[in-house]
Structure 1
Amino acid sequence: MREKLVDGAYAAGWATLKLLPEPVVRVLGDALADFTWRRQGKRVRQLEANLGRVRPQASYAELRELSRAGMRSYLRYWMESFRLPVWNDRKIADSMRVEGTEHLIEAMAANRGAVLALPHMGNWDLAGAWVVRHLGFGFTTVAERLKPEALFDRFVAYREGLGMEVLALTGSDISVIATLARRLREGKLVCLVGDRDLSESGTPVEFFGETTRMPAGPAALAQRTGAALLPVSLWYEGGVQAARIHPPIEVPQGGDRNAAKALMTQQLADIWAGEIARHPQDWHMLQKFWLADLPPRAQQAPPAAAGEEVAS
């Protein structure tokens, strides 16, 4: 029953919110964010704990205000996503400001393929729609398999409708890592959200002075295929979303491949940490993230299985 209710709520969002005037949707999103924030439920408390790592000098009152802004940013993502299927090219263009596109265009022109790797910042679906419609690059991405299955199918259909090829992270006969590698060798684009380790077998990194794990998939794919590994950051600036495509992270030459992969993943983490420090309210991390917050079993990571190291 709970799964049916969740699926029904998302279906209602996609069906209803795209019909409402945009100012109404904005007000509704802020009101829902503030209501959730005031209740201080489990996810809001976890967001505040995570933001406390980003802003360790912040007072309790400052963290509360930052988490309020964070919840508004998070609900803005959902409100935009529910309306995104009916946005035309002009609306998408007017909603984005992007720096560093030359790094992506250069990699694609060289037919080497590219991996865009980003954290849970801003609205990655809007950024993906912009890449498809305004740069003309379709891409392949990976999605966490959700429950109920009907909800997962809705998300796949939604993202495919925006021009993305979506692979399920688990529960499929298709090898995710092999398919992504094949796309890159064909000179195509892969986009991965890569700051959250769902497999409990990611690569340890230092992030805001503490240890966590991040998927090594973006680095491994660049190693395996020669594709450009391009970090991306997203944040909101008033009525638009800003994005930065950073210069490529190079694959170290020689030495141990695992050590090189770990170094590249740490470099991704360092770039994302710098951007999150500047725009903490737009980092939508409402789950336990650092190893110190995880139960002891989850702190001891087994070796990654093929296909599990990709991304969240």
Structure 2
Amino acid sequence: MRERLSDALYGSGWAAVKRLPEPAAHALGRAAADAAWRRSGRGVRQLEANLARVVPDPTPERLRALSRAGMRSYLRYWIESFRLPVYGPERIRTSCVIEDIHLVTEALASGRGVVLALPHMANWDLAGAWVVTALRTPFATVAERLRPETLYDRFVAYREGLGMEVLPHTGGSSFGSLARRLRAGGLVCLVADRDLTRSGVEVSFFGATARMPAGPALLAQQTGALLLPATLWYDAPPLMRGRVHPAVPVPETGTRAERTAVMTQALADRFAEGIAQHPQDWHMLQRLWPGDAPASSAR
């Protein structure tokens, strides 16, 4: 019953927000964000706990202000994502400014595959639609399986409608499919700041141990693809900005596990750089550092 209700709420929200005038849709998003922030439920409290690691010596007032901005950024992501299917190509092309995108296009033009790895910042769906529309470059990605299955199917259909090839995170076949795309000189985009398998690589992230997925580094090693970190952040609506960082090299020595650890740490360092500059646009409402206590329930 709860899963069916969740799917129905997403579906009705999706349909309603697409029909609203854009100013009204964004006003609704800000109101929903502020209501969730005032309620200070588990997600908001976890966001504040995560931000406390990102911002040096934050005061409680600073954390509360930052979490409010973070929730507004998070709801902006949802409002934009609900409305993306009604954006035209020109709107998508003019909604993003990505610095150093030539690092991606030059590698692809040479016939080399590219793994573009990014954290949960700003709107990765909009960035993906921009890659397909502005660069005329299809890409493959993976999606976390959601429950109920109908909700997962809804998100897959939505992303495929934007021009992405979406593979399930579970099932064991996605790695081989991604590797084939890369060996053929294609593009793979992966959100890679949270390990969903509990078997990821340990990294130092903002001074504490976290786990991040090994997939981007392993794909680069096994296929010869270029591994490029990227970070995103919001500007005044309707603009989103981003940056592609220099490639993470494959170490010349060490075992596969050792090379993977070095490369994943380099990704974590680039992610940390971008998150520290734009902490309000990092949408991490889940526990990331295993050593942290789970956030308590609503006050």
TM-score normalised by L of structure 1: 0.92
CA separation in 2, counterparts of 1:204 and 1:255? Answer: 17
> Shift of the alpha carbon at 1:93?
1.8
Letter in 1 for 2:243: R
> Shift of the alpha carbon at 1:255?
2.5
Letter in 2 for 1:233: T
Per the alignment, residue 229 of structure 2 pairs with: 231
Per the alignment, residue 297 of structure 2 pairs with: none
Q: Deviations over 1:116-143 (max 9, x none)?
A: 0000001000000000011011000000
**Alignment equivalent of 2:181, drawn from 180, 183, 198:** 183
3-state SS in 2 of match to 1:291? coil
Letter in 2 for 1:162: L
Per the alignment, residue 289 of structure 2 pairs with: 290
Per the alignment, residue 201 of structure 1 pairs with: 199
Letter in 1 for 2:35: F
Paired residues for 1:52-71 under 5 Å: 52-71=52-71
Letter in 1 for 2:137: F
Letter in 2 for 1:33: A
CA separation in 1, counterparts of 2:43 and 2:173? Answer: 33
CA separation in 2, counterparts of 1:282 and 1:235? Answer: 6
Letter in 1 for 2:109: A
3-state SS in 2 of match to 1:116? strand
Structure 2 portions without partners, runs of 5+: 295-299
Structure 1 portions without partners, runs of 5+: 296-312
Per the alignment, residue 36 of structure 1 pairs with: 36
3-state SS in 2 of match to 1:272? helix
3-state SS in 1 of match to 2:248? coil
Per the alignment, residue 260 of structure 1 pairs with: 259
Instruction: Count residues in correspondence.
Output: 293
CA separation in 2, counterparts of 1:294 and 1:160? Answer: 37
> Shift of the alpha carbon at 1:114?
0.3
CA separation in 2, counterparts of 1:203 and 1:99? Answer: 28
Letter in 2 for 1:237: D
> Shift of the alpha carbon at 1:58?
1.0
Q: Deviations over 1:5-49 (max 9, x none)?
A: 110111112211111111001110000000000000011000000
Q: Deviations over 1:220-274 (max 9, x none)?
A: 0000000010101000011111011111111111322211110000000001101
Per the alignment, residue 79 of structure 2 pairs with: 79
Q: Deviations over 1:174-219 (max 9, x none)?
A: 6111111011001111000000011100000000000000001000
Letter in 1 for 2:270: I
CA separation in 1, counterparts of 2:62 and 2:15? Answer: 37
Matched, 1:17 2:13: no
3-state SS in 2 of match to 1:293? coil
Per the alignment, residue 114 of structure 1 pairs with: 114
3-state SS in 2 of match to 1:83? helix
Task: Report sequence identity in percent.
Answer: 61
Matched, 1:248 2:247: yes
Per the alignment, residue 131 of structure 1 pairs with: 131
Letter in 2 for 1:145: R
- Which sits farther off after the overlay, 157-166 or 92-101? 92-101
Per the alignment, residue 163 of structure 1 pairs with: 163
CA separation in 1, counterparts of 2:68 and 2:293? Answer: 24
Q: Deviations over 1:132-171 (max 9, x none)?
A: 011011000000110000000000000000001100111x
Per the alignment, residue 274 of structure 2 pairs with: 275
TM-score normalised by L of structure 2: 0.96
CA separation in 1, counterparts of 2:106 and 2:36? Answer: 43
Letter in 1 for 2:155: F
Letter in 1 for 2:73: S
3-state SS in 1 of match to 2:291? helix
CA separation in 2, counterparts of 1:14 and 1:30? Answer: 16
3-state SS in 2 of match to 1:292? coil
Letter in 1 for 2:229: P
3-state SS in 1 of match to 2:165? strand
* Cα root mean square deviation, aligned: 1.0
